[in-house]
Amino acid sequence: MYRELTDEQKQILTTIRDFVKREIAPVSSNMENADDYPFQIVEKMKEMGLFGCTIPQEYGGMGLDYTTYAMIFEEICKGWMSVSGIIGTHSIMSYIVYTFGTEEQKKRFLPLLAKGEKRGGLALTEPNAGSDVQAIQTTAVKDDDDYIINGTKLFITNGRYGNTFALLAKTDTKAQPPYKGISCFIVEKGEPGFTVGRDLDKLGYRGLDTCELIFQDFRVPATNLVGLKEGAGFSHVMSGLEVGRINIAARAVGVATAAFEAAIRYSQQRQAFGKPICQHQVIQIKLADMATKIEAARLLTYHAAAKKDMGERCDLEAGMAKLFASEVCGEVTMEAMRIHGGYGYIKELPLERYYRDAPLMIIGEGTNEIQKLVIARNLLNKYKI
């Protein structure tokens, strides 16, 4: 049920593959090594409508389903995973606004988000709060028609070149449990008190701005409280992270596929002991394991996306997909490097980039250790006696 593509999906994926081959693949290695931001690629993505891929057509987007969304991420990541990050957290924010925002908020933000004129991100993580979201220390205090925000956010994708963020802050610091005091705000650059701190120098995921955001007595209009409802921010973001985990799983499938395809090509060209190394059983076993696990990861990802398309909760399925696909990506990129030997370790080939990008999927959108807890909690609820 996951591989029967519609004519529209076929056309979209053909367009994305051509885009990756023409615009991304030729420049990815040089830009990634230099940690250069892909401004020209972003402009092309705007023209293609990718910033609005899941935003409904009534608000100027493409209105694509999440299965097609996952396929798009997979294809982009075969070329350069960092590029997918530009629209990844943007799409999470768009989802939060569309799903939980008021009609006025939807009309005000979604058309501009769809065009890429407003570039979104998720301001969630803090220096002392990552997986433990309830431990955030950023506060939002009501003052007449505004909220005054103070705090620091860390590891924020699109932090420098994005301009609009879904930000979590505590509106009630005494709430028990703490998550009931967390609210979600739409914050925009341009007013005093909102500054971008340092850019973070990363192992992989390079060429993409990942920054620190600092809020010092930053005023945000009360009309920017998502849904105009305090205390609902935790549930808003947790729902949005289902989308995030689908796109992380799809990224992992894309990177793993690129590494596998590089390895199987190389194995047919490299000679050792008088024959191509693909004729040695040890290499064949590696290739068989890699391909099988990638396909399993892809199907888990499509299954989670399909459930999201049906309007159902998919935190269990998205967690499983993200967990399995990211671990497979880490394993496959390492195995592909082993097949390449020394050539896989040098920057002349993209394989070392795939290997450096893989850990991001393991720790991003909730570490895999957290994913296991989410999965177990859902399983215990499903099989409750």
pLDDT digits (tens, 9 = 90+) for 299-310: 999 999 999 999
What pLDDT digit, counting tens, does each position of 275-293 carry?
Answer: 999 999 999 999 999 999 9
Overall average pLDDT of the 135-141 stretch: 97
CA distance 78 to 38: 16
Overall average pLDDT of the 6-34 stretch: 96
Query: So what's the pLDDT on residue 130?
Result: 86
- Positions of E strands within 112-246: 120-123, 139-143, 146-157, 164-170, 182-188, 194-199, 210-221
CA distance 73 to 94: 16
Overall average pLDDT of the 45-73 stretch: 97
Q: Determine how many CB atoms are found less than 10 A away from the CB of residue 219.
A: 18
Query: So what's the pLDDT on residue 128?
Result: 93
Which domains, ranges and CATH numbers included, belong to the chain?
Answer: 7-115 (1.10.540.10), 120-233 (2.40.110.10), 235-382 (1.20.140.10)
What pLDDT digit, counting tens, does each position of 183-202 carry?
Answer: 999 999 999 999 999 999 99
Overall average pLDDT of the 193-217 stretch: 97
Burial of 150 from C-beta contacts in 10 A (0-12 / 13-18 / 19+): middle
Is the Cα dihedral 268, 274, 277, 280 positive or negative? positive
Give the Cα-Cα-Cα angle 51, 57, 62 (nearest 5 degrees).
Answer: 40
Whether the predicted pLDDT of 115 surpasses 70? yes
Q: Which of 312, 348, 365, 369 is catalytic?
A: 365
Overall average pLDDT of the 133-162 stretch: 97
Whether the predicted pLDDT of 1 surpasses 90? no
Query: So what's the pLDDT on residue 237?
Result: 95
Overall average pLDDT of the 216-235 stretch: 98
In the numeric block, the tokens 């449990």 are attached to: 177
Residue with the larger pLDDT of the pair 2 and 358:
358
Burial of 1 from C-beta contacts in 10 A (0-12 / 13-18 / 19+): exposed
Overall average pLDDT of the 85-99 stretch: 97
Query: So what's the pLDDT on residue 86?
Result: 97
Query: So what's the pLDDT on residue 3?
Result: 64
CA distance 25 to 303: 29
The reply to whether 365 belongs to the active site is yes
Overall average pLDDT of the 29-53 stretch: 97
Question: Crossing angle, helix 368-382 and helix 315-340, to 10 degrees?
Answer: 140
What's the pTM?
Answer: 0.96
Overall average pLDDT of the 197-211 stretch: 96
Burial of 333 from C-beta contacts in 10 A (0-12 / 13-18 / 19+): buried
